[in-house]
Structure 1
Amino acid sequence: MTLPRSAFVESSSCRDALSRRRVLQAAALTPLLGQIGFGMAQPAAYPSHALKMVIPFPAGGATDYAGRAIGTALATTWKQPVVFENRVGAGSTIGTEAGAKSAPDGYTLVMGIPAGVTIAPHIYPKLGYDPIKDLVPVAGFATSPLVVVVPIDSPFKTFPDLIAFAKAHPGELSYASNGSGSLPHLTAEWFLSEAKLKMTHVPYRGSAQALPDLIAGRTQVMFDIIVSALPLIEGGKLRVLAVTGAKPTTRLPGVPTVASFGYPGFAADQWYGLFVPAGTPDAAVRKVEADVQAATADPRLRGQMWQRGAEIQYLPAKALSEAVRTDSQRWAVIAKATGARAE
């Protein structure tokens, strides 16, 4: 059967129109996909420009150090700068909220720590974000214990010395923390509750602000992240009485755990993880997750973190999510038992 010539003309015209529509649709979609670094025919590499990492504590403290260490390693891998933004205050919740509410375009990373992710929901009556709904876990990369430290000229030579004095003089000692609602604050309150002791809490905006006052004797003791306190311990400014980990740390050989003094089950560690705002493209999340894993396998980063008392511990997104859930449940119980509230 022979079709009339008009049929060929109409068929050709339809094909041309369909082709033009597809070209226009592809042209419209390409800029949107390019915003997250994933194009169509020729995908752009992700990340294709600078990223921002929100660090919810001041420069010079443990969280800042850990964030800059992993961020610098990732910047080297990506050949793109990572800009560190310290957003401080309210026990890390100001910075964590700022990160959670950033554009979910794959170019904002949030340093997550217990204070802003697993403790805050249980001690702040009105929190401006929901850590579970507003943040997506990407990867955990390190942990570190806390240390119980006193000035080097303190009369307390051992942890039992401190406990004995506090029992005999309730309320006379003051303890510093790196912020109301922080892990050191809740850990100290947990210990005081377990030991049936009373001390006055003196919160600061970060360890970098609290430690000079401790050294000067304006406060008498501090539960602090080892990463912040270690240089001052090794520099002869602070005396360490105990560590809060489940086991002693190789970085301070011979220093006993709090649990070993008759407080079984007492263990608190600072964990560090990277999060992104909810809605961030999954491909970007997977890319960062994989690159964090590669970075934590580098002996240079491991050595760098160990020097400051932290231990590299990689957790993929799924494991970090589960760890956050478990940690949040634990701090909910402790917050209720101690009555701790953000001041």
Structure 2
Amino acid sequence: MTTLITQFRTLLARAAAAGSGLLLTCGTLAALAPAALAAPAYPAKPVTLVVPGPPGGITDQLGRLVAARMTSDYGMRVIVDNRPGAGGNLATEIVSRAEPDGYTVLLGTQGTMASNQFLYKSLRFDPAKDFIAAQALVSIPNLLVVNGKLPYQSVRELVAYAKAHPGKLTVSSAGNGTGSHLAAELFQTLAGVKLVHVPYKGSAPSINDLLAGQVDLTFDYPVSTLTQVQAGKLRALAVTGTSRLPALPQVPTISEAGYPGAESTSWIGLFFPARTPAAVVAKWEADVGRMLKEPATVEALQKMGGVPLPLSGEAFRAFVQSERTKWKGTIERAGATLD
């Protein structure tokens, strides 16, 4: 309203100076009114970024990194709303029902947007129809690690033993349907081996039992395993991403180790409710895309064990669809279910 009054006064002053009289002023005001009364620039109020994980986790750290930067850029608060539960489905359902006005954003994951729909039979949202994939943020590979006392020095040695002794080796995971479980299932399919899956309730107990020799190997995030690898208690045989880790330059990728196609990463990106205005989505894509190129952001993501994933718009949407296809087949072959 203040802006409209100011513009009205300016028009009156100009009209008086031009001697055009009230009739000209009213006509000009009528022409200007739609622009003056247009919706305020976005964002005009705080934005909520819904995070499908508890405070302190990787998704939370990433969410707060994005929220802090966008708050600074936009001059308007971006509030992190942690909604853990049901493998991320709780947070995803909340955003699927939100008003598509650009003020509710989801930090979507490989699980919530690609694999959960094949693990759970009773989802109350459709990842493909209820969301717009806007901007990818980070790709986090797993490390294939074995207990440091085991003799395997390479993936091929591990596979050779597994083929000669089917069902002998045990592979732990952070739980049924988690990224570590799915990475192991994909590897078994590509390598042609059969491992005994031992699911745990989280990464920490899985790694603890691996260190104690209760299980033989696992696939888990670098942030969970790197310290133990550097201490010699675990041995890293491969990185499941497409590039080597700067912290472990001597460890090959799974493709370099002889198993192309076994790549698996846990990725995270930004998603909006379907029908969110295209201009709002494009703004976030552009602004966050710039953020991902900055050295400080790259360093922060590397500390989380990941690398920037600079995909936006149609490229990101195509990537998400390819991930759905990939994990659908893996989950069906494994017979995994969480319902």
Q: TM-score, normalised by structure 1?
A: 0.76
Letter in 2 for 1:190: L
Q: 1:221 aligned to 2:221?
A: no
**SS at the partner of 2:107?**
strand
Pair 1:192-2:192 in alignment: no
| Secondary structure of 2:129's aligned partner | helix
CA distance in structure 1 between the aligned counterparts of 2:131 and 2:171, rounded to whole angstroms? 32
| 1:254-275 CA distance string (max 9 Å, x none) | 1022233432332222322100
Matches within 5 A, 1:106-255: 106-152=102-148, 156-167=152-163, 169-204=165-200, 206-207=202-203, 210-234=206-230, 238-255=234-251
CA contact (8 A) 2:100 2:273 kept: yes
Note if contact 2:156-2:258 (Cα within 8 Å) is conserved in structure 1.
no
> Residue 303 of structure 2 corresponds to which residue in structure 1?
307
Aligned to 2:260: 264
Alignment partner for residue 68 of structure 2, among 66, 72, 84?
72
Unaligned residue ranges in structure 1 (runs of 5+): 1-14, 27-38
> In the TM superposition, what whole-angstrom CA distance separates every residue of 1:48-69 from its partner, at most 9, and x where no partner exists?
3333222223444433333333
Inter-CA distance 142–193: structure 2 relative to 1 (3 Å threshold) = same
CA distance in 2, matches of 1:145, 1:84: 25
Aligned-partner Cα distance in 1 for 2:203–2:77:
27
Contact 2:292 2:310 in 1 (8 A): yes
Partner of 2:92, secondary structure, is: helix
What is the alpha-carbon distance in structure 2 between the residues aligned to residue 255 and residue 242 of structure 1? 6
1:209 CA drift (Å): 5.8
Q: How does 1:57-96 map to 2 (within 5 A)?
A: 57-96=53-92
Superposition CA RMSD, Å: 3.2
Give 1:322 shift: 1.4
Contact residue 238 and residue 257 of structure 2 kept, 8 A? no
Which residue number in structure 1 is paired with residue 313 of structure 2?
317
CA distance in 2, matches of 1:81, 1:238: 43
Contact kept? 1:52, 1:82, Cα under 8 Å: yes
Per the alignment, do residues 184 and 164 of structure 1 end up closer, same or farther by CA in structure 2, a change over 3 Å counting? same
The Cα of 1:183 is off from its aligned counterpart by 2.7
**Bigger Cα displacement from structure 2, 148-157 vs 271-280:** 148-157
Aligned AA (1:133): K
Question: Structure 1 stretch 173-182 or stretch 320-329: which is displaced more?
Answer: 173-182
Does the residue aligned with 1:259 lie in a helix, a strand or coil? coil
**Cα pair 2:229 2:235 within 8 Å, conserved:** yes
In structure 2, runs of 5+ residues without a counterpart are 1-22
Aligned amino acid, residue 246 of structure 1: T
The one-letter code sitting in structure 2 at the alignment partner of 1:62 is I
Structure 1 residue ranges (4+ consecutive) displaced by more than 6 angstroms after TM superposition? none
Q: Percent identity?
A: 36
Shift of 1:139: 0.8
Q: After TM superposition, give the deviation of residue 204 of structure 1 in Å.
A: 4.4
Aligned length in residues: 310
- Shift in alpha-carbon separation, 1:188–1:216, aligned structure 2, 3 A: same
Return 124-133 or 63-72, whichever deviates more. Answer: 63-72
The two structures have a TM-score, normalised by structure 2, of 0.77
Displacement after TM superposition at 1:224 (Å)? 1.6
